[in-house]
Amino acid sequence: RKEVEQDPGPFNVPEGATVAFNCTYSNSASQSFFWYRQDCRKEPKLLMSVYSSGNEDGRFTAQLNRASQYISLLIRDSKLSDSATYLCAVNRWAGGGADGLTFGKGTHLIIQP
Amino acid sequence: DTEVTQTPKHLVMGMTNKKSLKCEQHMGHRAMYWYKQKAKKPPELMFVYSYEKLSINESVPSRFSPECPNSSLLNLHLHALQPEDSALYLCASSQDPGGGADTQYFGPGTRLTVL
């Protein structure tokens, strides 16, 4: 099983629709989970940290399911500007010192007018 | 302010050249990272610095040499690179190396082409 897996898509979604992505991770000791957004030829930009209790930021909602080892991202009322690649990222160890991130391959989202 | 800056934005070098990439942050972050990203692939961790000390080296070839002169600066020295080393090199920083869910913020990257 790969460390972090995502469906690469592309997801073609009409403007205004709701879209959901999942990401599974293999290291049960991982403690930190993130969603990043990456536009073409740009750097990853933090979208959300993901907490056990779930968190919401405007149209975006992230959830963590530790038992099944997956995180999810829900985008409501999608906008054309949401078109991007969405990367999930998981820390590599269970705390204790600076820790690199392992990224999924990213899910490519295309919002269509 | 979550700004990480990187210079240069673009770099073209020959296989015999020596060059350096520079990364800077003034957020008081104590952990800094180098990642490499090839086209259509996710970023891959290369090095981690924690409190200015190298804490993680992901078995990176010695032609890549990191340096952390102070808590705000991170360099990546390049020597005798191969064409397959062409990629986007991303620097990131995070606040507290021992702080659990430590969010990393990325710079804009240096796009490197090795001829």
Instruction: Give residue-wise pLDDT tens across range B35-65.
Output: 999 999 999 999 999 999 998 899 999 999 9
Residue in A49, A88, A58, A64 with CA at minimum distance from that of residue A76: A58
Q: In what order do the strands lie in the sheet with B73-79?
A: B4-7, B18-25, B73-79, B64-70
- Quick check: A44 contacting B, CB < 8 Å? yes
In chain B, what percentage of residues exceed pLDDT 90? 88
Q: How far is A15 from chain B (nearest CA, A)?
A: 25
- The pLDDT of B82-90, averaged and rounded, is 97
Q: Which residues in chain A are closer than 8 Å to B41, comparing Cβ atoms?
A: 105
Please tell me which residue, A52 or A37, carries the higher pLDDT value. A37
CA distance B40 to B27: 30
CB spacing of A99 vs B48 below 8 angstroms: yes
Asked whether the predicted pLDDT for residue A94 surpasses 60, the reply is no
Report pLDDT for A107: 96
- The Cα–Cα gap between A79 and B4 comes to 28
Q: Are A14 and A79 in contact (CB under 8 A)?
A: no
Which residues in chain A have their CB less than 8 angstroms from residue B100's CB? 31-32, 95
Examine the pLDDT at A86 and tell me if it is beyond 80: yes
What is the chain A residue with the closest CA to B109? A43
pLDDT of amino acid B1: 57
Chain B contact probe: residue of A101, A102, A103 with most B CBs at under 10 A:
A101
